[in-house]
Amino acid sequence: MHEKTLAELSAALHSKAISSVELTEHYLARIQQLDGTLNSFITVTQELALEQARAADARLADGSAGPLTGIPLAHKDLFCTRGVRTSCGSKMLDNFVAPYESTVTQRFIDAGAVTLGKTNMDEFAMGSSNESSFYGPVRNPWNQELIPGGSSGGSAAAVAARLCAAATGTDTGGSIRQPSGFTGLTGLKPTYGRVSRWGMIAYASSLDQAGPMARTAEDCALLLQAMAGFDERDSTSVEHPVPDYSAELNQPLQGLRVGLPKEYFGEGLDAGIANTIDQAVKQLQALGAEIREVSLPNAELAIPAYYVIASAEASSNLSRFDGVRYGYRCENPTDLMDLYLRSREEGFGAEVKRRIMVGTYALSAGYYDAYYLQAQKIRRLIKNDFLAAFEQVDVILSPTSPIPAFRIGEKIDDPVSLYLTDIYTITANLAGVPGVALPAGFADDLPVGMQLLGPYFSEPRLLNVAHQYQQATDWHTRAPL
């Protein structure tokens, strides 16, 4: 039954072909069987899951069930879950049991979904390969020597390996879209402010956005429906009506204007990926789309701007991890300074420290104007690039990554080359626009991800295009293992 999509499982639950307890037990058994090597889960919440499954079955029986009732999901381990360890992939929070529930997970609880556990991730969501986790690297189910992408690598591997029906992720610079691309999934980063950040441990507050990672656009629509909406506890969440994300899935693509940013198809793009995306473009054309070239002239500035802004915000966001109130505390501190220095020295991993240092530097007196303010200017330019491009086209199409999934350890000593792989995804975070990643084929037996970006709050349109593409192709049905 793990071959079914979320939408199919929902139908099966509602028709009583299966029960949520059966489904949950099935996934728990698969996790038990397969996750020892994949390492996609940090915590498996078996008892909680079965309890929720029983409650879901009761709702399914009494007719109060919704489309997600009884569906076993996994959550990236940076959503606070009451009574369950919320580690953020860090030694710093290895002992942290959240005393409250994030808005995103609460909404899934309210919808009757089942929580199978918390998924592995790059430490504090800082990484593109899921190798910076305190709990070890996650393996790509398509080839276990390879990384699954990051930072939502655990969620990606778990959904791709069919260890859960779908999962949540978060995307600060591509952390939903890039791993979705590397593992053959459909993943959506919503418009900034669409989904509440309350209870989501912050990496870079102005860029972080939670979204669904699933097998199909149709599944993403069902998940986003539960996640989206204004939350008075998050001042940056937007009071914008939530549409029915499934309503427009079946609209034909006739007349759709698809833009290909010329800056995204140049140097550094893997030939296999370029060919695969080319085929996908042709497919969309066959479905009625018009293809146009567009320009995002400031795209090349995105990576430096991103690493200044994200690191600056992170350096401040992570100050609260000081060993005083919760989380890791060093043994026998001699005084306050020793407590701070050793707790943070021992509790944070190398990549986190690197970004805290970069961010601290960028905000320091004498450097602020040259780095932080300059980066904010670039951010505005990039936003304007998108606004101009969306005057001409409805969606912008690109690969999710210039290179295919690489070997575990391959780039670990070369952070800058790793940062450069975020080139196609980062601009959407800087501009705040939504993006969806979906499987577009294979190159060298590895999934290739295609990214579609749209104007603010164009999630229904993005899901529509992805769904129509998936009606005409079967890449999304391919399974690893």
Partner 1 sequence: MQWEIVIGLEIHAQLTTASKIFSGSATTFGAEPNTQASLVDLAMPGTLPVLNAQAVKNAVKFGLAIDAEIGMTNVFARKNYFYPDLPKGYQISQMDLPIVGKGHVDITLDDGTVKRVGVTRAHLEEDAGKSLHEDFQGMSGIDLNRAGTPLLEIVSEPDMRSAKEAVAYARTIHSLVRYLGICDGNMAEGSFRCDCNVSVRPKGQTEFGTRCELKNINSFRFIERAINTEVQRQIELIEDGGTVVQETRLYDPNKDETRSMRSKEEANDYRYFPDPDLLPVVIEPSFVEQVRSELPELPQQKRERFQSEFGLSAYDASVLSASREMADYFEQVQRTCGDAKLAANWVMGELSSLLNKSDIEIDQSPVSAEQLGGMILRIKDNTISGKIAKMVFEAMANGEGDADQIIEARGLKQVTDTGAIEAMLDEVLAANAAQVEQYRASDEAKRGKMFGFFVGQAMKASRGKANPQQVNQLLKQKLDG
**Active site residue ranges:** 76, 151, 175
Query: Judged by CB under 8 A, which stretch of 35-43, 80-88, 140-148, 169-177 contacts partner 1?
Result: 80-88
Residue 322 engages partner 1 in binding (rule: CB under 8 A) = yes
Choice between 71 and 93, CB closer to partner 1: 93
Query: Judged by CB under 8 A, which stretch of 113-121, 153-161, 182-190, 227-235 contacts partner 1?
Result: 227-235
Query: 412 with 164: CB under 8 angstroms?
Result: no
Token pair for residue 103? 């808005």
413-421: Cβ within 8 A, 24+ apart: 415/351, 415/354, 418/127, 418/128, 418/129, 419/128, 419/303, 419/307, 420/268, 420/303, 421/128, 421/178
Residue 98 engages partner 1 in binding (rule: CB under 8 A) = yes
Query: Judged by CB under 8 A, which stretch of 6-14, 74-82, 381-389, 421-429 contacts partner 1?
Result: 74-82
- Helix residue ranges per DSSP H, 39-124: 46-62, 103-110
Query: 117 with 49: CB under 8 angstroms?
Result: yes
- In degrees rounded to 5, what are phi and psi of residue 97? -105, 115
Restricting to residues 408-427, which ones interact with partner 1 according to CB under 8 A? none
Torsion of CA 464, 465, 468, 469, to 10 degrees: -150
Q: Which of 20, 102, 343, 398 forms a contact with partner 1 (CB under 8 A)? A: 102
Sign of CA dihedral 260, 261, 263, 264: negative
Q: Which of 46, 285, 295, 360 forms a contact with partner 1 (CB under 8 A)? A: 360
Q: Which of 282, 320, 377, 478 forms a contact with partner 1 (CB under 8 A)? A: 320
∠ CA 291-292-294 to the nearest 5 degrees? 140
Q: Which of 167, 201, 294, 465 forms a contact with partner 1 (CB under 8 A)? A: 201
Token pair for residue 24? 């949950």
Gap between the Cα atoms of 253 and 473, Å rounded:
15
**DSSP β-bridge partners for residue 438:** 450
Token pair for residue 273? 């990926």
Residue 112 engages partner 1 in binding (rule: CB under 8 A) = no
Residue 230 engages partner 1 in binding (rule: CB under 8 A) = no
Residue 15 engages partner 1 in binding (rule: CB under 8 A) = no
Residue 471 engages partner 1 in binding (rule: CB under 8 A) = no
Pairing, β 395-399 against β 290-294: unpaired
Residue 266 engages partner 1 in binding (rule: CB under 8 A) = no
Gap between the Cα atoms of 426 and 433, Å rounded:
11
Query: 246 with 236: CB under 8 angstroms?
Result: no
Residue 340 engages partner 1 in binding (rule: CB under 8 A) = yes
Query: Judged by CB under 8 A, which stretch of 92-100, 133-141, 149-157, 389-397 contacts partner 1?
Result: 92-100
Per-residue binding letters, 369-408, with partner 1 (x by CB under 8 A): ---x------------------------------------
Residue 80 engages partner 1 in binding (rule: CB under 8 A) = yes
Q: Which of 53, 305, 312, 378 forms a contact with partner 1 (CB under 8 A)? A: 312
Nearest of 481, 479, 467 to residue 188 by alpha carbon: 467
Query: Judged by CB under 8 A, which stretch of 42-50, 73-81, 294-302, 440-448 contacts partner 1?
Result: 73-81
- Helix residue ranges per DSSP H, 143-290: 153-160, 177-183, 217-227, 271-286
Residue 328 engages partner 1 in binding (rule: CB under 8 A) = no
Residue 331 engages partner 1 in binding (rule: CB under 8 A) = no
How many residues touch partner 1 (CB under 8 A)? 45
Nearest of 50, 40, 77 to residue 159 by alpha carbon: 40
Residue 368 engages partner 1 in binding (rule: CB under 8 A) = yes
Q: Which of 206, 400, 451, 464 forms a contact with partner 1 (CB under 8 A)? A: 206
Residue 105 engages partner 1 in binding (rule: CB under 8 A) = no
Task: Name the site residues for partner 1 (rule: CB under 8 A).
Answer: 78-80, 86, 88, 93, 96, 98-100, 102, 197-202, 204-206, 232-236, 312-313, 315-316, 318-322, 324-326, 336, 340, 360, 363-365, 368, 372
